Amino acid sequence: MDGPYTFPTHRLGHLEPGSDKTPLVLVACGSYSPVTFLHLRLFEMARDDAAFNTQFQVIGGYLSPVNDRYRKLGLASAKHRVAMCDAAVDDTSDWLMVDPWEARQPRYLPTAQVLDHFDHELNTVRGGADVEVVDPRTGEQRTEKRRVRIMLLAGSDLILTMSEPGVWAEKDLHHILGIYGLYIIERAESELDQTIFSSSSVHSRSPLALYRHNIHMVEQTVRNDVSSTKVRLFIRKGMSVKYLIPTVVIRYITRHGLYRTADRRRSSLAQSASAPKPARTSAAGETRPLRGL
Ligand X SMILES: Nc1ncnc2c1ncn2[C@@H]1O[C@H](COP(=O)(O)OP(=O)(O)OP(=O)(O)O)[C@@H](O)[C@H]1O
Ligand Y SMILES: NC(=O)c1ccc[n+]([C@@H]2O[C@H](COP(=O)(O)O)[C@@H](O)[C@H]2O)c1
Give the bridge partners for 39, in sequence order.
none
What is each CA distance from 248 to 89, 90, 265, in whole angstroms?
Answer: 10, 9, 27
Give the whole-angstrom CA distance, residue 183 versus residue 195.
18
The least CB distance from residue 266 to ligand Y, in Å, is 12
- DSSP letter (8 states) at residue 145: E
Residue with smaller CB distance to ligand Y, 131 or 151: 151
Alpha helices in the chain (DSSP H): 37-53, 78-92, 101-104, 111-119, 156-161, 170-174, 207-210, 228-236, 247-256
Find out whether the peptide bond into 34 is cis, omega within 30 degrees of 0: yes
Residue 28 site contact among ligand X, ligand Y, none (CB < 5 to 8 Å, cut-off depends on kind): ligand X
Q: Which stretch binds ligand Y (CB under 6 A): 129-137, 141-149, 166-174, 253-261?
A: 166-174
206 binds ligand X (CB under 6 A): no
Give the bridge partners for 215, in sequence order.
182
67 binds ligand X (CB under 6 A): no
x/- string (CB under 6 A) for ligand X, residues 254-283? ----------------------------xx
Cα radius of gyration (the chain): 20
The least CB distance from residue 288 to ligand X, in Å, is 12
The least CB distance from residue 261 to ligand Y, in Å, is 21
225 binds ligand X (CB under 6 A): yes
x/- string (CB under 6 A) for ligand Y, residues 85-124? -------------------------xx-------------
Q: Strand 129-134 and strand 56-65: pairing? A: unpaired
Residue with smaller CB distance to ligand Y, 111 or 123: 111
The least CB distance from residue 65 to ligand X, in Å, is 8
154 binds ligand X (CB under 6 A): yes
What does residue 141 show for φ and ψ, rounded to 5 degrees? -90, 135
**Is the C-alpha dihedral spanning 5, 10, 13, 18 positive or negative?**
positive
Among 38, 76, 85, 275, binds ligand X (CB under 6 A): 38
167 binds ligand Y (CB under 6 A): yes
Region label for 149, one of left (φ > 0), alpha (ψ between -120 and 50) or beta (otherwise): beta
Residues making contact with ligand Y (CB under 6 A): 29-31, 66, 70, 72, 110-111, 158, 161, 167-168, 172, 276, 278
Residues making contact with ligand X (CB under 6 A): 28, 30-33, 38-39, 42, 74, 154-155, 157-158, 185, 187, 225, 227-229, 282-283
